[in-house]
Chains A and B, each alone.
Chain A
Amino acid sequence: MAEFIDLVLLAMLALTALRIIFLKDLFAVVMLFGIYSFLSALIFVNLDAVDVAFTEASVGAGISTVLMLVTLAMTGRKEKQSTHSTILPLFVVLVTGAALIYGTLDMPPFGHPDNPVHQHVAPRYIEESPKEVGLPNMVTSVLASYRGFDTLGETVVVFSAVIGVLSLLGVRRTKKKDLESGLETHKVLHVVSKIIIPLVILFALYVQFHGDFGPGGGFQAGVIAAAAFILYALVLGLPKAFAVVGPKFLQWMAAAGVLLYASVGLYSMYKGGNFLDYNTLAADPIAGQHYGIIIIELGVGITVFAVMLNIFYAFGSQAERSNIQ
Chain B
Amino acid sequence: MTEILAAACIAILVVMALALVRAFKSPTVYDRILGVNMFGTKTVLFIAASGFLMGRPDFLDIAIVYALINFIGMVAVLRFFEYTSPIE
Contact = CB atoms under 8 A, between A and B. Distances in A.
B6 A66 contact: no
Interface in A29-49: 31-32, 34-35, 38, 41-42, 45-46
A interface, how many residues as a size bin?
35 or more
Interface in A3-45: 5, 8, 12, 15-16, 19, 25, 27-28, 31-32, 34-35, 38, 41-42, 45
Contact of B20 (A2, A5, A12, A193): A12
B11 interface: no
A203 B62 contact: no
Interface string A199-212: 01001000100000
Contact of A54 (B16, B23, B33, B65): B65
Interface in A60-78: 61-62, 65-66, 69-70, 72-74, 76-77
Contacts of A57: 62, 65-66, 69
B59 A215 contact: yes
A214 B56 CA distance: 11
A31 B58 contact: no
Contact of A45 (B9, B24, B59, B84): B59
A253 interface: no
Contacts of A19: 24
B74 to A, nearest CB: 9
Contacts of A2: 54
A31 B76 contact: no
Given A5-B50, A42-B47, A69-B76, A61 B84 contact: no
B77 A69 contact: yes
A319 B83 contact: yes
User: Which of A2, A66, A189 has the most chain B CB within a 10 Å cutoff?
Assistant: A66
A6 B73 CA distance: 25
A258 interface: no
Contacts of A16: 20, 24
Interface in B56-80: 58-59, 61-62, 64-66, 68-69, 71-73, 75-80
B20 A62 contact: no
A16 B21 CA distance: 9
B32 A66 contact: no
A162 interface: no
B83 A323 contact: yes
B36 to A, nearest CB: 5
A74 B83 CA distance: 8
B60 to A, nearest CB: 10
17 contacts: A16-B20, A25-B88, A27-B29, A38-B43, A41-B62, A41-B66, A45-B50, A46-B50, A62-B68, A62-B72, A62-B73, A66-B72, A73-B83, A183-B78, A186-B78, A214-B61, A234-B75
